[in-house]
Amino acid sequence: MLEKIMSPSDLAHLSQAELNELASEIRAFLIEKVSRTGGHLGPNLGVVELTIAMHRVFNSPSDVMLFDTGHQSYVHKILTGRASAFDQLRQKGGISGYPSRSESEHDVIENSHASGALSWAHGIATAFKIQKIKDRKVVALVGDGSLTGGMAWEALNNIAASKELPLVIIVNDNERSYSPTVGGIATYLSTLRTTSGYEKFLDWGKSVLERTPVVGQPIYETLHGVKKGIKDIVAPQGMFEDLGLKYIGPVDGHNIAAIEDSLRLAKAFGEPVLVHVLTEKGRGHAPALRDEAEKFHAVGIVDSETGEPLSQSAPSWTSIFSQELVAIGGEREDLVAITAAMLGPTGLDRFAAKFPERTFDVGIAEQHAAAAAAGMAYAGLHPVVAVYSTFLNRAFDQLLLDVALHKAGVTFVLDRAGITGDDGPSHNGIWDLALAGIVPTLRIAAPRDGERLRELLREAVTVDDRPTLLRFPKGAVNADIPAFERRDGIDVLYRGESADILFVSVGALAQIAVEAAAQAYREGVGVTVIDPRWVKPLPQSLVTMAGRYKSVVVLEDGIEHGGIASTISELFREHDLAIPVHSIGVPLEFFEHAKRAQILSEIGITVQSITRSLVGWSSTSSAAGIIEEATQLPQDGNANRSQPR
């Protein structure tokens, strides 16, 4: 069946039996292909029937399909003619793991961050209404944890107040994002899943309410028990119809006919409608349905039968952070950990296992995580907020005005900083240094290896009168690079015999810097490599140290514009130090998906490329020095001087 599907129109005349066969083939196809390339396996196994039904009821691309958390778009890609490209999923030159406009007219939102699709949907549907376009619908697939994000509820508030919008919202309710979805909204959706009537509620309610999480139960009881009464607790449409949205569901998300019936009703209504669909994340793949299902949200290269990795991974930055945080947590009872629906991916699962009462998963809600951390710090705790670098972008306002303005003792730990690669432009963590660099009171550390990560984490959590931030990249950690000298907090990693270039290495790129310096030395260029460890604020001693060299080179895996090189240039200007500062960093652009090493090579962050630059800049500095010396007036005032050629 799968070989016959070149476009959504090929679905139109299939029987229910054929559609079910197609769903089975798609699952087998996904397990085979994603196990070879890596990617988001669990979410897509859960939306096979749902996506088939969407494409049978709606006419893409005339009807606009929007995928919140775009990692659940693989089935959509298959049904829109891209199945043959899955051998190169997330590979350089291959198809993206998220919707991509360059791939297909069926794709709209390329940004893969959660909770934004409803705002897009409101905007597009409003534009259709203003332009009196009546034959196009907007369909937004949300869920997989995204309804815990505040932006989704801002959008719902506006959608509910907008009449006659051609908009259908599909909530993919699979109980999970990365980890099981938490909070009051998740509790409410759980209620809709398990309640079918008042009599059943009487038996069900006592046991379930006693187990409802502390945060969810008061909201649940107050909002629905007191305000509306027990009778309305069991009305599935309660919360959404209170907002003014028509509600259909819950619907079995693995029954294509049932989903189609619900979507056709929603399509014909003429106003915003919410369709609540129940799905099973990882459906059809036994390893993805086990207790450790969280790891099947996204997988590396694995055995398609067992789901086990095909190669042993070296110790990762995440694992070292995880181990050290648990150790510190055993020493300090005031230390708490916060994450946004990524307990395992950020390494906080170990801390949660040891200190569950001091671990808080707030769901996909980075803004809340940062502001809540400020409150915890005010009340005497030291929160460690662990998120991916790219997701801190969403909480910049809270970092700036809730945490830094109040000098809150909060430590942010940014995993996946720098180029990440496979997941494309929205997941590269290349903006954190530039963004965080303009935040007053914030201190920023960039460890170069595992030992420095442990050391700097311990230093960070001792700071209670201002926020701190640590950043490290994705993947395996480098071998430790010991310093042979620490001078005023600056580690000296390599010293050339002549004072040609002072090479400032930021974070995990230190090994590349040391190897490039050694190669440059063999070509006659003296390079001293230093690691500031704390890159904000920069040590003032850097000015004195730099004054002994002809030029300074800065290597960083953040954007060049506004990064550490820019900060060093400003520092030198403040001290009237006239010395060239050269930057080796990430250009100010978006990068398509590829392996991290491939992207670094393309932008010149390799030993060979950097060595050539060091030698070239040394020659330029030497030539400039000769010219300057040749054009100096003699001390006795003699006006005769050589003219440079």
Q: What is the mean pLDDT of residues 585-599?
A: 91
- Of the candidate CATH numbers 3.40.50.720, 3.40.50.1580, 3.40.50.2020, 3.40.50.920, the domain formed by 485-627 belongs to 3.40.50.920
CA atoms within 13 A on the CB side of 266: 31
Contact 553, 617 (CB under 8 A): yes
What confidence category does residue 612 fall into, taking pLDDT thresholds of 50, 70 and 90?
very high
**Poorest-confidence range of 118-122, 185-189, 489-493, 593-597?**
185-189
* Domain 317-471 class, CATH top level: alpha beta
What pLDDT score was predicted for residue 168? Answer: 95
Task: Say if 317-471 and 485-627 have the same CATH topology.
Answer: yes
> Which is catalytic among the residues 176, 281, 443, 448?
281
Q: How far apart are CA 502 and CA 487, in angstroms?
A: 14
Residue-wise pLDDT tens digits, 130-184: 999 989 999 999 976 677 788 888 888 899 888 788 899 999 988 654 444 444 4
Pick 356 or 233 by higher pLDDT.
356
Q: Tell me whether residue 394 is one of the annotated catalytic residues.
A: yes
SS3 letters across 502-516: EEEECHHHHHHHHHH
Q: Which two tokens stand for residue 464?
A: 């209670």
Residue-wise pLDDT tens digits, 422-461: 888 888 999 999 999 999 999 999 999 999 999 999 999 9
Q: Tell me whether residue 454 is one of the annotated catalytic residues.
A: no
What pLDDT score was predicted for residue 143? Answer: 78
What pLDDT score was predicted for residue 288? Answer: 56
What confidence category does residue 218 fall into, taking pLDDT thresholds of 50, 70 and 90?
very low
What pLDDT score was predicted for residue 375? Answer: 97
CA end-to-end span of the chain: 75
**Poorest-confidence range of 16-20, 278-282, 469-473?**
278-282
With b for 16 or more beta-carbon neighbours within 10 A and e for fewer, the 124-144 pattern comes to bbbebbeeeeeebbbbbbbbb
**Poorest-confidence range of 12-16, 223-227, 317-321, 639-643?**
639-643
* Percentage with pLDDT > 70 across the chain: 81
Q: Which two tokens stand for residue 604?
A: 């010149």
Q: Give the start-to-end residue ranges of the domains of the chain.
A: 2-195+236-296, 317-471, 485-627
Pick 640 or 79 by higher pLDDT.
79
Q: Which two tokens stand for residue 546?
A: 């730099």
Q: Which two tokens stand for residue 498?
A: 């002549």
What confidence category does residue 504 fall into, taking pLDDT thresholds of 50, 70 and 90?
very high
Residue 476 is given by DSSP the state: B
Closest alpha carbon to 142 in 288, 240, 38, 242: 240
Q: Is the pLDDT of residue 42 over 90?
A: no
Pick 232 or 65 by higher pLDDT.
65
CA distances to 72, 224, 227, 397 from 118, in Å: 16, 25, 28, 21
Tell me the average pLDDT of the chain: 84
What pLDDT score was predicted for residue 287? Answer: 62
Q: Is the pLDDT of residue 50 over 90?
A: yes
Pick 312 or 358 by higher pLDDT.
358
Q: Is the pLDDT of residue 567 over 60?
A: yes
Find the DSSP H helices in 332-470. 349-354, 366-378, 389-392, 396-397, 432-436, 450-461
* Percentage with pLDDT > 90 across the chain: 60
> Which is catalytic among the residues 394, 454, 533, 550?
394
What pLDDT score was predicted for residue 164? Answer: 83
SS3 letters across 165-195: CCEEEEEEECCECCCECCCHHHHHHHHHHHC
Q: How far apart are CA 374 and CA 385, in angstroms?
A: 10
Q: Tell me whether residue 333 is one of the annotated catalytic residues.
A: no
Q: What is the mean pLDDT of residues 633-637?
A: 40
What pLDDT score was predicted for residue 555? Answer: 97
What pLDDT score was predicted for residue 309? Answer: 59
Q: Which residues contact 166 (CB under 8 A, 6 or more apart)?
A: 125, 128, 129, 134, 136, 137, 138, 270
Q: Is the pLDDT of residue 402 over 50?
A: yes
> Which is catalytic among the residues 324, 366, 556, 560?
366
Query: Which CATH code is given to the segment(s) 2-195+236-296?
Result: 3.40.50.970
Residue-wise pLDDT tens digits, 233-287: 445 456 677 777 889 988 999 999 999 999 999 999 989 999 999 998 777 656 6
Max avg pLDDT among 145-149, 592-596, 613-617: 613-617
What pLDDT score was predicted for residue 626? Answer: 42
- In sequence order, the β-bridge partners of residue 251 are 277
Q: What is the mean pLDDT of residues 409-415?
A: 97
What confidence category does residue 2 fall into, taking pLDDT thresholds of 50, 70 and 90?
confident
What pLDDT score was predicted for residue 601? Answer: 93
What pLDDT score was predicted for residue 300? Answer: 58
Q: How far apart are CA 215 and CA 202, in angstroms?
A: 22
Closest alpha carbon to 325 in 358, 366, 293: 358
